[in-house]
């Protein structure tokens, strides 16, 4: 049974291919089009999935779209009716698009598939599971659990904004939902908007900003009180009610009523690129604290309803790795699995898996202790010939290593000497995190590395933290965590033995002064609150990356390096050797490693661009 799942038309379009219940390929459309969060039909991702397995259209049993567009249209109409006459402008903007395109989505999907060679005579069924079922399936079916609670939390699907379900064998039973307009995802996005970041891409910035708030500040307590008493009502089961007089997302063209929020919090909405002030950090911490409490309450309710020992999570809010770490520490569940592509891109995978196990009734194979995501390395890989052709195109100079062991020793030495490395190996990651296949690497011990990576490589805000990649068996030597975190979705603290005590006046310091205080022996990956977004690296899922870190440990005694995504601000993560070389030459990276090829920046020809290349990408 060969099933193609797709997500499209909202944000983060993607395609995924499942063969007899096995996930064989998945990729986001943005990686091919170079347009971040691309919402267009995932033609390139579909081509890749079919080409990777060598499948033709007459072998595909079903094409599965990740939600039900008519239910979503129903929600849109009922929402405008409920709020009328408010929202007329938004209604007039939205309706032509819905009537022209999304009302007839089945026809549109067939037309797009026909452009890719699909014919009406082919046997593939076209299926439409509900949005939160797709999320739930994306988390439960690849998990290593035969039975678990499933918690999905995002902005909104059709009507649901959060759901609790039970996964048991090949079955998923929906137990409870929270409905639009009441949504934790939209609440968090509203604060993302008010604090000057871009909705649907800047939420992780808000999460990174929050620790710069002073937990003892009366502002944090005051802001939390305002949120809990004016903006929302929080119930014991984690469900929330949002006071719509303060929000515009239901019928307007913005997330919030800015004037009312200014009265509530005492300052205006921050403009993008404006300086960050203590009040912004305090508000960020306030909403992060409340988000964590809501997620924990929802998880407690999921445990109560199901009695399950394990939990699976998906939906955009499941990418809040700080909240995930706090939830894990509660001990509510023996273990938690979070879908690495937790957002809408992962819905494509979940749709295919839901069709396989629910619609077609295929049995599910579970391997104890191992998830079925193959490390999330499900995208395209490239041959030596592809690298050589890129080098010829740009007249690039390289060194080729016959043995990877020799290469990893060489690159480990470059890292130890303070160089920044672009690292492209094997199949591209599926999901928003670079996990050692399309990464930029540095020395975690170097106190200048965070500043250099942010300002000279990524061209982004200086407060943004970086993640550590650590050998799985060495994780507890550096971090207060004894489990695994292969997908960079958990935040835990660095161990006390490697911390540096903060100065007495620390909380009174300006943000920039806090930022450059050396907090531990791993300054480039230790966040301001002594936490780190951990990626454990495993020999069986990423042997090359594991070997590099092992070589670095043998050279330096340290089993931790810096890992950030291979892109600049506003650009999707690189896919091809050409994407990688172009990004390498546009930034101050020192070396580029693709497969067994090493490019030294000092040896390359002078790089010239026509116009300002940074304008290619919309800043996120």
Domain boundary among 338, 362, 392: 338
Helix or strand or coil: residue 41?
Answer: coil
379 lies in some domain: no
Q: How many CA atoms lie within 13 A of 455 on its CB side?
A: 7
Q: DSSP letters along 488-521, please?
A: S-EEEEBPGGGB-PPPTTGGGS-HHHHHTS--BS
Q: Is the per-residue pLDDT at 369 higher than 90? A: no
Q: What's the structural domain count of the chain?
A: 3
Q: What percent of the chain has pLDDT over 70?
A: 96
358 and 295 together in one domain: no
118 and 222 together in one domain: no
149: containing domain: 143-338
Task: Write down the pLDDT at residue 516.
Answer: 74
Higher pLDDT, 462 or 106: 106
Say how far apart CA 314 and CA 160 lie, in whole Å. 13
Q: Which two tokens stand for residue 388?
A: 């050589």
Task: Write down the pLDDT at residue 613.
Answer: 67
Residue 167 pLDDT level (bands cut at 50, 70, 90): very high
393 lies in some domain: yes
Helix or strand or coil: residue 443?
Answer: strand
Domain boundary among 330, 350, 372: 372
Q: Is the per-residue pLDDT at 464 higher than 90? A: no
pLDDT, tens digit, for every residue of 476-500?
999 999 999 999 999 999 999 999 9
In the numeric block, the tokens 């990651």 are attached to 429
Q: Is the per-residue pLDDT at 506 higher than 90? A: no
378 lies in some domain: no
133 and 6 together in one domain: yes
pLDDT, tens digit, for every residue of 516-547?
788 899 999 999 899 999 999 999 999 999 99
135 lies in some domain: yes
pLDDT, tens digit, for every residue of 419-437?
999 999 999 999 999 999 9
Task: Write down the pLDDT at residue 220.
Answer: 97
132 and 158 together in one domain: no
pLDDT, tens digit, for every residue of 41-51?
999 999 999 99
241 and 312 together in one domain: yes
Task: Write down the pLDDT at residue 614.
Answer: 67
Say how far apart CA 438 and CA 575 lie, in whole Å. 7
Task: Write down the pLDDT at residue 78.
Answer: 74
Q: Is the per-residue pLDDT at 461 higher than 90? A: no
Looking at 10-24, 118-132, 500-514, which range is the least confident one?
Answer: 500-514
231 lies in some domain: yes
Closest CA to 208 of 433, 464, 513: 464
As a whole number of Å, the CA-based R_g of the chain is: 24
522 and 545 together in one domain: yes
192 and 127 together in one domain: no
Element containing residue 282 per DSSP (H, E)? helix 278-306
Q: DSSP letters along 195-261, please?
A: TT--TTTSHHHHHHHGGGS-TT-HHHHHHHHHIIIIIEEE-TTS-EEE-GGGB-TTTSSSSB-HHHH
Residue-averaged pLDDT of the chain: 93
Domain boundary among 338, 360, 395: 338
- For the segment 205-233, the average pLDDT, to the nearest whole number, is 95
111 lies in some domain: yes
102 and 221 together in one domain: no
Q: Is the per-residue pLDDT at 80 higher than 70? A: no
Task: Write down the pLDDT at residue 620.
Answer: 66
Q: Is the per-residue pLDDT at 103 higher than 70? A: no
227 and 261 together in one domain: yes
Higher pLDDT, 89 or 118: 118
The domain that holds 190 is classified in CATH as 3.30.420.40
pLDDT, tens digit, for every residue of 314-345?
999 999 999 999 999 999 999 999 999 999 99
Higher pLDDT, 620 or 488: 488
CB-based contacts of 447: which residues, under 8 Å, 6+ apart?
A: 518, 523, 524
Closest CA to 27 of 293, 303, 296, 346: 346
pLDDT, tens digit, for every residue of 260-284?
999 999 999 999 989 999 999 999 9
Strand partners, 491: 533
Task: Write down the pLDDT at residue 606.
Answer: 83
The domain that holds 445 is classified in CATH as 3.90.870.20
Residue 101 pLDDT level (bands cut at 50, 70, 90): low
Q: Is the per-residue pLDDT at 388 higher than 90? A: yes
253 lies in some domain: yes
425 and 285 together in one domain: no
298 and 361 together in one domain: no
- For the segment 452-456, the average pLDDT, to the nearest whole number, is 86
Task: Write down the pLDDT at residue 509.
Answer: 76
377 lies in some domain: no
pLDDT, tens digit, for every residue of 559-616?
999 999 999 989 999 999 999 999 999 999 999 999 999 999 999 988 887 777 666 7
pLDDT, tens digit, for every residue of 182-216?
999 999 999 999 999 999 889 999 999 999 999 99
76 and 170 together in one domain: no
Say how far apart CA 131 and CA 159 lie, in whole Å. 9
Q: What percent of the chain has pLDDT over 90?
A: 79
Q: Which two tokens stand for residue 532?
A: 């780190």
Q: Exposed/middle/buried for 518, CB within 10 Å: 0-12, 13-18, 19+?
A: exposed
Task: Write down the pLDDT at residue 515.
Answer: 73
Strand partners, 171: 168
């Amino acid at each position: 049974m060969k099933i193609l799942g797709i997500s499209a038309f909202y944000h983060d379009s993607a395609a995924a291919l499942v063969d007899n219940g096995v996930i064989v390929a998945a990729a986001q459309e943005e990686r091919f089009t170079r347009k971040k969060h691309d919402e267009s039909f995932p033609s390139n991702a579909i081509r890749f999935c079919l080409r990777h397995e060598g499948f033709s259209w007459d072998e595909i049993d079903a094409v599965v779209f990740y939600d039900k567009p008519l239910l979503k249209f129903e929600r849109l109409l009922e929402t405008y009716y409920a709020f009328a006459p408010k929202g007329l402008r938004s209604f007039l903007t939205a309706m032509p698009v819905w009537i022209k395109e999304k009302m007839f989505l089945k026809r549109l999907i067939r037309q797009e598939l026909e452009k890719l060679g699909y014919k009406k005579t082919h046997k593939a069924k076209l299926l439409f599971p509900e949005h939160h079922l797709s999320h739930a399936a994306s988390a439960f079916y690849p998990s290593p659990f035969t039975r678990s609670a499933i918690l999905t939390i995002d902005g909104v699907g059709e009507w649901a904004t959060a759901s609790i379900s039970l996964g048991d064998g090949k079955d998923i039973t929906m137990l409870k939902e929270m409905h639009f307009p009441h949504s934790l995802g939209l609440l968090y996005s509203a604060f993302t908007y008010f604090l000057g970041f871009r909705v649907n891409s800047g939420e992780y910035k808000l999460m990174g900003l929050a620790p710069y708030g002073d937990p003892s500040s009366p502002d944090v307590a005051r802001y939390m009180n305002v949120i809990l008493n004016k903006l929302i009502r929080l119930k014991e089961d984690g469900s929330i009610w949002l006071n719509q007089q303060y929000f515009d997302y239901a019928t307007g063209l913005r997330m919030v009523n800015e004037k009312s929020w200014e009265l509530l919090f005492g300052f205006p909405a921050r403009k993008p690129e404006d300086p960050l002030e203590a009040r912004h950090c305090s508000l960020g911490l306030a909403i992060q604290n409340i988000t964590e409490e809501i997620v924990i309450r929802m998880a407690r309710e999921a445990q109560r309803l199901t009695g399950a020992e394990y939990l699976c999570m998906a939906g955009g809010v499941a990418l809040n790795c700080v909240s995930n770490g706090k939830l894990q520490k509660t001990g509510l569940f023996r273990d938690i699995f979070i879908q690495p592509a937790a957002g809408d891109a992962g819905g494509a995978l979940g749709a295919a898996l839901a069709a396989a196990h629910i619609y077609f009734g295929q049995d599910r194979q579970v391997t104890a202790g191992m998830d079925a995501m193959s490390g999330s390395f499900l995208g395209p890989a490239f041959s030596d010939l592809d690298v050589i052709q890129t080098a010829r195109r740009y007249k690039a100079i390289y060194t080729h290593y016959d043995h990877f062991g020799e290469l990893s020793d060489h690159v480990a030495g470059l890292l130890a000497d303070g160089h920044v490395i672009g690292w492209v190996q094997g199949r591209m990651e599926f999901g928003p995190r670079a996990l050692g296949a399309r990464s930029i690497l540095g020395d975690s011990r170097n106190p200048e590395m965070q500043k250099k990576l942010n300002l000279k490589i990524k061209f982004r805000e200086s407060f943004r933290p970086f993640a550590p990649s650590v050998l799985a068996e060495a994780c507890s030597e550096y971090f207060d965590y004894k489990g695994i975190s292969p997908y960079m979705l958990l935040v835990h603290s660095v161990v006390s033995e490697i911390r540096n005590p903060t100065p007495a006046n620390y909380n009174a310091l300006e943000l920039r002064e806090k930022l450059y205080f050396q907090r531990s022996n791993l300054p480039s990956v230790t966040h301001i609150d002594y936490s780190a977004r951990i990626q454990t690296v495993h020999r069986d899922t990423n042997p090359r990356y594991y070997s590099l870190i092992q070589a670095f440990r043998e050279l330096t005694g340290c089993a931790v390096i810096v890992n950030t995504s291979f892109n600049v601000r506003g650009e999707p993560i690189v896919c091809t050797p050409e994407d990688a070389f172009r990004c390498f030459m546009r930034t101050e990276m020192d070396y580029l490693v693709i497969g067994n090829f090493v490019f030294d920046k000092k040896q390359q020809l002078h790089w010239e661009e026509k116009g300002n290349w940074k304008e290619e990408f919309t800043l996120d």
